[in-house]
Structure 1
Amino acid sequence: MADVVQFKLERMLNELEDLERRGLFSRGEIAEIVKKRRKFEYRLKRPSPLKQDFLAYIEYEKQLDALRRLRKKSVLRKSGGKKSKKSVSDYAGVSRILDIYRLATNRFKGDIQLWFQYLEYCRARGHGRMKKALAQLVRFHPKVPGVWIYAAAWEFDSNLNVAAARALMQNGLRACPTSEDLWVEYLRMELTYLNKLKARKVALGEDEGDLARDHRKADEKQWRDENKELFMALNESGDADKRSDLQDGECEGKLDVFGEHGLNILQTVYSGAVEAIPTCFSVRTRFLEILEATDLAHSEDMRKKILEDMKRDFSKDPLYWDWLARVEIADLEGINAKQFSKAVQVYEEGMTFVPSAVMVELYVKFLMDAICDEDRGGEAAVHFKSHGHTTELVSHLQMVYEKAESLGCITEDLACEHVSLLLQLGKLDEAKLLIEKLCSGKFSEAVRLWTLRLSIEMRCIQNKSLSPSKVDLLYILELLRSILMKVRVSEAENLWVMGLKYFANQRQYFDKLVETSLLLLAKDGGSDSGFSLSSTIVNYILQRDGVESAREMYKRFLALPHPGLAMYRNCIELELNLASTGEKTGLPKARKLYESALATYDQDASLWQDYHSMEVKMGTSETAAAVHWRARKALKNNISLLPSATS
């Protein structure tokens, strides 16, 4: 290994002597360069060099070459601008960087990012190795569409070889026929080349215009035609008009040659893409965007054909109808009523073809975007100028929710949105009737909807009187218990928190809710992590009734079959907080809780760590050592997780 490194360093001798002779680096700096390069070369000659070793060497050489170029410019200025011939040091740095990239890509052939760094450096330097590197990349990664696109783009834009670029794209389509990007970029390349041919004809004076569609020019031409008498010269004759019309006809004929050819290309590529990926919806929308951006012959007929094919193949896809409706209004800003009615008709047709929840969600989102959108300042900005239009949209949105309910394709999210809309409109009674109907039917176990229903019931009671009556409290309690008995404790966190907060100062009803929790926790068990109902109840009682009541309560929960690790941790924290304030029974109770928890969770390393940390801080060295010894005995496979006995 040392002989190889020494041989490589000796081959750098001419370069280093040239750098010193030209005054770019001093002898001491050259010695430092040799030292750094020797270190990097030894790293690369290891049995298993890392990718970072190659990248660090490349970065060092790039910085060194940049410094060389700066000093060369400085020397050139001092010599009065007299240029000297290029020597070996002008080429050696780039050549060495390319060699390191070549070694790196040979070592890490599967690293696409490294390959592209290599190619970008070759392209930036305009080095001839670019073509060879591209060929290697295509050979190693033929199934990566981006590789073919990059190679074709370089041939087309930099190497100016259209035939090679076309061959690369066609080979890429054979290797990756299902790549959407390849089909789209191939079409762009062909149309771009056709536009360049058109521009060449224009530069030679044989034609005019280009294939890019200019809507401003079309509008200006229409205005001029409508007001052509304003532009008519006084000495203009009928023969001049005929000659002008003849010239325009000839230009249109010439333009049609390119337009027809472009249309043929689009038809061919479109047919191939549809055959290769018939289920890809986005590729057809991208073809339509390209078609609308170019001025091709019979483009309207081609557009109709693509739209008909899309309707035939994707009429059961909600995304198709959403896209088609939004095509009617390219931008929600400033749309008129006619455009909006067309979009609504599309959504209504989509609802008949695809009566699904996804279709309803897209329809609702469209209407919400039309009603209001958040501007940059964060305030709602109504796009319709009059308040009447907004009211009409809101009523239409409500009709969509009702239609979704009648079709049976409403989801819990849509139901919550419908109720929330009624609440925003101030229709509290309607919202209450609707949510009662939903909760008693399809969504009898929908927690989010029940949470919303309880909040509405509480609001109605509050509106009726500031202090709820016993009948109202009992009604809320029974309503809450009816849903809590149907779902698991872990799924009803918001319901439990809402109920406990509402009845926190109503001891009689709070105790009934606690009894319900004991019954459910005995059946489902407590939580080991996340939301812990028993811990929440203990904390409420601690704040309201004090420590002794909280201890009595957590003893009842710990007596259940599976109280859960989260409950143990909460009780331990409670006792440790009391012990830190000087309460003498806090530490012994915390030890008992740890022992009870370890009886079930003896393989939990974090529990042993917490127990050991407590003994180190509050206990004695003997108790801490005893806990550490027990933990090592229990955790045979997780000893590394434990702290040392002396920590």
Structure 2
Amino acid sequence: MADTVQFYMEEMVPEMRDLEQKGIFSKKEIASILKKREKFEYALKRRISKKADFLRYIEYEMNLEELRKKRRARMVTKTKMSISDYAGPRRIYFIYKRCLNKFKGDISIWLQYINYAKKTGASRTLGKIFAQAIQLHPMNEKMWILAAAWEWEENANIVAARVLMQRSLRLNTTTESLWHEYFRLELVYIAKILARREVLGIEVSTEEFEKNLLEDKEADTDNMIRLPGVTGEELFGKESDNKEEGEDKKSATDKKLKSKNGKRVKTHTPLSEEKAEGLKSEANPVLRGEIAMVIYRNGIREIPRSFTFRKGFLDIANSFIKPKPLKDDSIQYIYDSIEQDFKDMPEACALVARRAIDTYKVDEEGYAKGVGETVKVFWQNCEDGDAKIWELFVENMEAEYQKTQEENLKLYFSKTIDRIFSSATKKKIRSEGLYLLHINWILNTSSLPVENITKKALPIINKAIIEYPQSRALVLQQIRLLRTLSRAEQITRLPEIFVGALKTHPESFAIWREYIIFLRIAYREEDMSNEQVEEAFFDAIRITTSLLPGVTEERAEVGQIKQSVGAWFLDWMNEIEGITGVRRVYQSLMKKSLPELAFFMASINLEKKNSTDEAESRKAIAILYDKAIHADEKNEDTYLSFLKYLNETSQIEAANKVLWRASKAVADNDAFSQRYSDMLEGRWTEPSFGITELDLDLDMSMETLDPTDHESDT
């Protein structure tokens, strides 16, 4: 190991000598660089190599190279390129290669390697990197897409990009992103060619095009570029060898150059109608989008039942403004295939109904006509459709209402949405989503005073909750609407609502947050006494402590509830009684149960901020940190927070004991040691430990009532 490290160090001598001679680094700096590199090299030669060591070495070399470039740029005298100018990047590439020999399966390192090669403009090296990465990870679609994008965007090689995408699809036939990106590649290529033809004036009629070729004057348009005269032969290359073409070629050659006053003058051969027609995009299968449509047809054959997959193709096609790479008949084919294969899916029906709108942008001339056609199709779908198509109708109209600035159109959309809700009510079309959309529409668009809006919306939400009692979103919206009423009405109605809501939805973080805000405001407004609020908090702690841990994604909010409710309790107690009340609460709770980690960390933070007796505070903080570590012995941040506190208060002996304890508990001791070093150097930021801030907005208004916030609870 030492021999290899010594060999690498000796190879650096010419580079270091060159840096010293140029005056970029001093002798002392060079000695420091060599010492640092030697330390890194020994770290890489461990029996079990660690990815973090390679990445730290690369980061150091990149920073060093940036510093070298800046100093060289500031030098007054320009020197010739020498070994020190390319040794830095070469070493970084070498470290990356050694790292990838050890960690071939780590995609993140490959991506960093690719990005660095792009940044340094190493095209030949980048090609080799892509080849190696794809060979090792043929099932990773991102590698194929990056390689194809590089061939097209950097090398302008559409053929190579197509080959890469086709090979990727042979191996990954059901990977949606590959089909989409190949489709996008073809459309970008077409759009670029069409844009170039428009600038060159090629997309015109045969007569206009021939006239432009033969005229020797600049066209009167901002989109035209004056070009040298071009003959048919120069435009199309050599003719074939048959007799007629040979005669035409000879005639053209004889007439090509004539003498006029001793000067050579270039003449033009008229362009045939057949050849001019061949220049038009309609005559070119590629520019008509036929390759793109082949991709679409093959893609839906491999993935036939995915609506989002089909929609992805449409989103890509509609993302182009001008020029449009796909013709209307091709786009209509995609819509027709979606309508045929997903005729029973409301989302597909809504997408097809939007065809007329999506053809135009909001400010284009045909947009208003497209809106009328879309609304007509939606009403037809709603005749026999379920509640979902009604919801989608409202959502699409709301989206267009938000996009347009034209007052007549906004009024039209508003009237249409009101008509949708009234028609749904008459036909007894009901759903949780439709109720929420109706409430949100009232809140967003009504010009009435806040109290009147609430009174208009509350009957609807109350009726909805009777029909859908298990809906968190409806209950949360009801609570937020009630909070806009007067204090007397809130105190009369909200306690009963919260009892039922927390009994039905004990695992909803948003409802618990609203409940705690209600308690805090009720205390400030003197609607509840100190004892009543404290008792309510203790009941909340009892309920949330009894909740089972959230081990699944569906119950992920449980952990957040457990962490936050206790911290909110301590924050309120600190506000009314100070650190004495905080201690009384956490000591009482610790006797009855083991609270969550966040509870102990909140207690520690309050002890640090508010304690006046240093000795007593140190003792309390040490006990709390010990309890916090017991709550989660493998949490590295808890140890680091404790160590940071001990170092700041000069408790070195205690810090050594905690560090030894952490080394026995954490999963990766080396990684923890590095984090500890970062903490000592001030590069570690203490996390929040899951404690969520409480927004105590005393005045609830339509502006603070976010009607879309219910989505997190749906």
**TM-score normalised to structure 1 length:** 0.62
After superposition, where does 1:391-406 map in structure 2 within 5 Å?
391-405=411-425, 406=427
CA offsets 1:332-381 (integer angstroms, 9 cap, x no match) = 34776433211211322343464233x333322333344456xxxxxxx8
Alpha-carbon distance in 1 for matches of 2:52, 2:442: 57
Asked if residue 543 in structure 1 is aligned to residue 572 in structure 2, the reply is no
Aligned AA (1:4): T
- Corresponding position of 1:99: 94
User: Which amino acid in 2 is paired with 1:346?
Assistant: V
Question: Cα distance 1:395–1:492, how it changes in 2: closer, same or farther (>3 A)?
Answer: farther
Residue 184 of structure 1, aligned match among 180, 183, 195: 180
> What SS class does the counterpart of residue 280 from structure 2 fall into?
helix
2:183–2:313 CA contact under 8 A, matched in 1:
no
* Residue 281 in structure 1 maps to residue 264 in structure 2: no
Greater mean alpha carbon deviation, residues 105-114 or residues 285-294: 285-294
| Distance change >3 Å, CA 38–CA 75, structure 1 → 2 | same
Mark the CA change 1:292 to 1:268 in structure 2 (over 3 Å): closer, same or farther.
farther
Residue 144 of structure 1, aligned match among 136, 140, 152:
140
Structure 2 counterparts to residues 232-631 of structure 1, below 5 A:
247=272, 250-255=275-280, 259-262=284-287, 263-278=289-304, 279=306, 280-286=309-315, 288-289=317-318, 299-329=327-357, 330-333=360-363, 337-352=368-383, 354-357=385-388, 359-371=389-401, 382-385=405-408, 391-405=411-425, 406-411=427-432, 412-417=435-440, 420=443, 424=447, 431=456, 435=460, 438=463, 442=467, 447=475, 487-488=501-502, 531=515, 539=523, 543=526, 550=531, 597=589, 600-601=592-593, 606=599
Q: Extract unaligned runs of 5+ from structure 2.
A: 205-218, 220-267, 546-563, 655-714
What is residue 121 of structure 1 aligned with on the other side? 116
Preserved contact between residue 143 and residue 175 of structure 1 (Cα < 8 Å) = yes
Alpha carbons of 1:365 and 1:188: their partners in 2 closer, same or farther (altered >3 Å)? closer
How far 1:13 moved relative to its partner?
A: 3.4
Q: Take 2:573 and 2:26, find their aligned partners in 1: how far apart are those partners?
A: 72
CA distance in structure 1 between the partners assigned to 2:112 and 2:536 by the alignment: 65
**Partners in 1 of 2:45 and 2:482 — Cα distance?**
71
Secondary structure at the aligned position of 1:103 is classed as: helix
CA contact (8 A) 1:367 1:393 kept: yes
- 1:497-521 deviations in whole A, cap 9, x for unaligned? 9xxxxxxxxxxxxxxxxxxxxxxxx
Amino acid at match of 1:402: S
Residues 325 and 346, structure 1, Cα contact 8 Å, conserved in 2: yes
Quick check: 1:130 aligned with 2:126? yes
Equivalent residue, structure 2, for 1:220: none
Measure the CA separation in 1 of the matches of 2:621 and 2:316.
Answer: 70
For 2:196 and 2:596, the matched residues in 1 are separated by 76
Q: What amino acid is the match of 2:387?
A: S
Higher RCO (C-alpha under 8 Å, 6+ residues apart): 2
* Residue 229 of structure 2: aligned partner: none
Any conservation in 2 of the 1:187–1:269 contact (CA below 8 Å)?
yes
Contact 1:435-1:449 within 8 A present in 2 as well = no
Deviation of residue 281 (structure 1)? 2.6
Alignment-derived partner of residue 503 in structure 1: none
1:34-93: CA deviations, max 9, x gaps? 3333233223223344444334433444455556667777889468xxxx6x65445433
Measured against aligned partners, the alpha-carbon deviations of 1:543-585 in whole angstroms (never above 9, x if no partner) come to: 36977xx48x97899899968889999999999988779xxxx
Larger displacement relative to structure 2 (173-182 or 53-62): 53-62
Partner-residue secondary structure (3-state), 1:128:
helix
Partner Cα separation in structure 2 for residue 292 and residue 401 of structure 1 = 34
Report the RMSD for the aligned CA atoms in angstroms.
6.0
Question: Are the structure 2 counterparts of residues 116 and 325 from structure 1 closer, same or farther at C-alpha, using a change threshold of 3 Å?
Answer: same
In structure 2, relative to structure 1, the CA distance for the partners of 1:434 and 1:332 (3 Å cut) is farther
Instruction: Give the match's secondary structure for 2:362.
Output: coil
Q: How far off its partner does 1:142 sit?
A: 1.7
Aligned-pair CA distance for 1:400? 0.6
Q: Which residue pairs with 2:552 in the alignment?
A: none
The C-alpha deviation readout for 1:379-407, integer Å capped at 9, x for no partner, is xx85224xxx6555433222211233325
- The structure-2 alpha-carbon separation of the partners of 1:35 and 1:347, relative to structure 1 and needing over 3 Å to count, comes to same
Which AA in structure 2 matches 1:13?
V
Q: Is the 2:600–2:628 contact (alpha carbons within 8 Å) kept by the matching residues of 1?
A: no
Q: Tell me the distance in 2 between the aligned counterparts of 1:15 and 1:484.
A: 72
Counterpart residue number, 1:166: 162
Identity %: 26
1:177 is paired with a residue whose SS is coil
1:38 and 2:38 aligned: yes
Amino acid aligned to 2:202: E
* CA-CA distance at 1:118 after TM superposition: 1.9
Tell me if structure 2 keeps the 8 A contact 1:401–1:418: no
Once residues 90 and 631 of structure 1 are traced to their aligned partners in structure 2, the CA distance between those partners, rounded to angstroms, is: 52
Go from structure 1 to structure 2 and tell me whether the alpha carbon gap of 1:188 and 1:597 turns closer, same or farther (over 3 Å shift). Answer: closer
Alpha carbons 1:423, 1:431 under 8 Å: kept = no
Query: Is 1:14–1:88's contact at 8 Å kept on the other side of the alignment?
Result: yes
SS in structure 1 of the partner of residue 407 of structure 2: coil
| Bigger radius of gyration among the two | 1
Task: Tell me the alpha carbon deviations over residues 241-263 of structure 1, each in whole angstroms, 9 at most, x when there is no partner.
Answer: xx999855641234357522444
For residues 567 and 189 of structure 1, the distance between their equivalents in structure 2, rounded to whole angstroms, comes to 51
In 2, distance between residues paired with 1:173 and 1:91?
A: 39
SS in 2 for 1:142: coil
Among 202, 210, 214, the residue aligned to 1:208: 202
Question: Are 2:15 and 2:87, in contact at CA under 8 Å, matched by a contact in 1?
Answer: yes
Kept in 1: contact 2:439–2:461 (CA 8 A): no
Provide the rounded CA distance (Å) in 2 between the counterparts of 1:488 and 1:252.
74
Distance 1:429 1:610 in 2: 39
Q: How does 1:4-23 map to 2 (within 5 A)?
A: 4-19=4-19
Retained in 2: the 8 A contact 1:325–1:347? yes
**Residue equivalent to 1:108:** 103
* TM-score after normalising by structure 2: 0.57
Residues 107-128 of structure 1: CA deviation (Å, up to 9, x unaligned): 3333333323322333434363
Contact 2:401 2:410 in 1 (8 A): yes
Q: Give 1:491 shift.
A: 5.3
Matches of 2:567 and 2:437 in 1, distance apart? 39
Secondary structure of the residue aligned to 2:98 is helix
Rate the CA distance shift 1:338–1:125 in 2: closer, same or farther, 3 A: closer
